[in-house]
Structure 1
Amino acid sequence: MTQHVESVNSSVVPAVLPRTADSAAGPLAPGTHTITIDHKGTAVAQRYHVAGAGGPVCVALSGGPGIGWEYLRMPLLERAFTVVYVEPVGTGESGRLPDPRDYTLPTYTHFLNGVIGHLAQPSVTLLGHSYGGFVAQQYTLEHPEHLASLVLYDTSPVTGEEFWADAVANMERFARRHVAEHPEVATYVEALTAPLGRLDDDGATECLRTTMPAYVVDYWGREDEFGPARGSLRMYAEPSLGEGPAFDVREQLSGITAPTLVLVGAEDFICGPRWARMLHEGIPGARLAVLDGTGHLAHVERPAEFTEAVAGFLLEHTVPRGPGH
């Protein structure tokens, strides 16, 4: 099955979504939807946003935990698919949990299951970016019956000490390369390792915006493009207070049966090719795509190439939308 995906440059601006979707038109009507999901006896608001109105359904999970969903808008992909962006609990106008220690992988997986159940589709594609990829892996292992296909985008099957030591070392190298021309990068390691849960939302956002140039290739050479994106990033501090073990599903990857694309930026400092290869080698039949000239945000840096890789894969492994949607 093939479908043309229009190639355009990175100046494409996502369409503004309706503030409130027409609920009478169903759970996949374009715009913002709010549902309620029970969490340990408390009703919590869960928002999601629908863009695009054609093709199969792709549910997109943003990173963090605690980063606002908006940075993940993929306007070219929205031309070929109906993309459902989940606004994680603890961020934006989704609800807050009574106990901040509950911002854990099982919690996010539970809320994702509520959203997917509400969509009432035979199956969906999951696209998980960074921490959203952790959630996508866990959900796929727990609910394989709901998945048509899986895209693991700049993510890893494991965190813990080795993962973070690698990220810090990569950030240190980035700072050494650029500090002569951009002295502010001397603060990047401190910002990366800051205990965000001790900050307020503005403080957490400042840490994220400070380090954003390390997440792309050639930030200063393309600052006219990347500067507005940097200024729009938003991070919420409370999800950093979640308590739970380090993520590690390496021994479970062989149990993922959904067709899987592992997509990674060749120069991603935090979830780079080392971790992508672990996913590719561990998931039966997985396809690996390494995008040259990109860091952690290929959909912003090289949107046409990103869309070609994702859409080409998804169109091989999707099912039609359900009736009435």
Structure 2
Amino acid sequence: MAELVVDGVKVSYHVAGSGPVCLVHSGGPGIHYDYLRMPELEQQLSMVYLEPVGTGASDLLADGNYSMESYAYYAAQVAQQFGEEKVFFLGHSHGGFVGLQFALDYPDLVRGIIVYDGMAFNGKELGQEAKRQLDAYVARRPVGDPLAAQVQQAWNEDSELPDDKERHLDNLRRLLPVYFRDFEEIEPRLADWFTLMDLTIDPNRQPSAWDIRDRLGEIDGPVLVIVGAYDFICGEKWARQLHDGIAGSELVVLAGSGHFGHLEEPEEFFGSVLRFAAAH
């Protein structure tokens, strides 16, 4: 673990592996990095697991300004600590949003961007599509299925939860089945992984609308877009929007995965990332 103080704000990060530097930005926002630890990539890349501002051991932001530009700024300060001209950036979910902003704001630092289940905007439209996909998940389940009922209840409660970490964690864990293609199949293999799910909540966080769909053409560095075919929250529709908007980008659709392809289809996921890294 290492720490960097930027403009009076402490940013923590963890380094593992060897090879070209790859920043890793977790999702949420506020989900701790541990769930995204990837030893398979550490064999060929120096993985720098960020604890983004407002997350884990990093400081909260006094002004509550957790914009994508702010996240990208602090990530860029960490990137410059490694003495390399350019770095890879692997962002999952919300971290993928940050990766795209990083590519726009700091093109000279980019060796390659890996957008893992990300998209180019947030806001109402995201929630509407996620609800449609959640309803599709429920429709695929048997009538009266307890997992479907659990997921629906957790989704309906989400917007009404207070700023309480344990309540939010409980809600997230009850929602988890919809984040996987086949939760029952993978659950026995994830007992330890579930214990890693942790988050930080800053009640001072300010709303931050973000939409760069009309700027995707400005991204000219190498970009790999990875998405699970069953991802209900940042699905294939949005991944293809990225692929269509970013000239020369690569798209990998993991046919048997939801939101956590590195767990459901590790061979395909890690193979795609390592091929991309080797090419750039």
Give me the TM-score of the superposition, normalised by structure 2. 0.93
Amino acid at match of 1:63: G
Q: For each residue in 1:203-249, what CA deviation from the matched residue of structure 2 results, as whole angstroms up to 9, or x when unmatched? A: 1211211111111121112221123322321122227833222x211
Deviations 1:153-201 (A, max 9, x none): 1111122222210101111222343364641432424433613772211
Q: Residue 244 of structure 1 aligns with which residue?
A: 208
Alignment coverage as a number of residue pairs: 279
Residue 104 of structure 1 deviates from its aligned partner by 2.2
How many Å apart are 1:252 and its aligned residue?
A: 0.5
Shift of 1:118: 1.9
For each residue in 1:235-288, what CA deviation from the matched residue of structure 2 results, as whole angstroms up to 9, or x when unmatched? Answer: 22227833222x211111111011111111111111111001000000011111
Q: State the 1:119 CA deviation.
A: 2.2
Q: Using the TM superposition, give the Cα deviation of residue 150 of structure 1 relative to its aligned residue in structure 2, in angstroms.
A: 1.1
- The alpha-carbon deviation at position 128 of structure 1 amounts to 1.1
**Matched residue SS, 1:141:** helix
Query: 1:204–1:236: 8 Å Cα contact kept in structure 2?
Result: no
2:264 is the alignment partner of 1:295? no
One-letter amino acid matched to 2:115: L
Which whole-Å CA distance do the structure 1 matches of 2:184 and 2:75 have between them? 36
- Which residue is equivalent to 1:45? 10
SS in 2 for 1:152: strand
Question: Given that residues 186 and 264 in structure 2 are in contact (C-alpha distance below 8 angstroms), is that contact kept between their aligned partners in structure 1?
Answer: no
**Partners of 2:86 and 2:110 within 8 A in 1:** yes
C-alpha contact (below 8 Å) 1:260/1:286 kept by paired residues: yes
The aligned counterpart of 1:174 is: 137
Deviations 1:84-106 (A, max 9, x none): 1101122211112223x322222
Question: 1:76, 1:304 within 8 Å by CA — same for their partners in 2?
Answer: no
Offset from partner CA, 1:43-72 (integer Å, 9 cap, x none):
12110011102x211111111101111111
Gaps of 5+ in 1: 1-31, 318-325
**For 2:75 and 2:194, how far apart are their aligned partners in 1?**
27
CA drift of 1:290 comes to 0.8
Q: Tell me if structure 2 keeps the 8 A contact 1:66–1:240.
A: no
Identity %, equivalent residues: 37
Q: Give the 3 Å change call, closer, same or farther, for CA 179–103 of structure 1 in structure 2.
A: farther
Q: Tell me how far apart the structure 2 counterparts of residues 294 and 282 of structure 1 sit (CA, whole Å).
A: 24
For 1:306 and 1:273, the matched residues in 2 are separated by: 15
Instruction: Give the Cα–Cα distance (whole angstroms) in 1 for the partners of residues 238 and 270 of structure 2.
Output: 21
Counting only pairs closer than 5 Å after superposition, residues 122-161 of structure 1 correspond to structure 2 as 122-161=85-124
CA contact (8 A) 2:161 2:167 kept: no
Distance 1:162 1:93, change over 3 A: same
Match of 1:232 in 2: 196
Deviation at 1:120, TM superposition (A): 2.4
> Contact 2:112–2:277 (CA<8 Å) still a contact in 1?
yes
- Partners of 2:147 and 2:217 in 1: CA distance: 43
Quick one: distance in 1 between partners of 2:212 and 2:161? 25
Q: Note if contact 2:163-2:203 (Cα within 8 Å) is conserved in structure 1.
A: no
Q: State the distance in 1 between where 2:99 and 2:215 align.
A: 13
- CA-based RMSD of the aligned residues comes to 1.8
Aligned residue type for 1:299? H
Distance 1:179 1:34 in 2: 49
1:59-70 aligned within 5 A: 59-70=23-34
Rg larger in 1 or in 2? 1
Task: Report the TM-score, using the length of structure 1 for normalisation.
Answer: 0.81
**AA paired with 2:3?**
T
Q: Establish whether residue 263 from structure 1 lines up as the match of residue 226 from structure 2.
A: yes
Alignment partners' CA distance in 1, 2:57 and 2:196: 16
Q: What secondary structure, in the 3-state scheme, does the structure 1 residue paired with 2:256 have?
A: coil
SS of corresponding position for 1:102: coil
What is the identity, as a one-letter code, of the residue corresponding to 2:78? V
Work out the CA distance in 2 between the residues paired with 1:135 and 1:197. 25
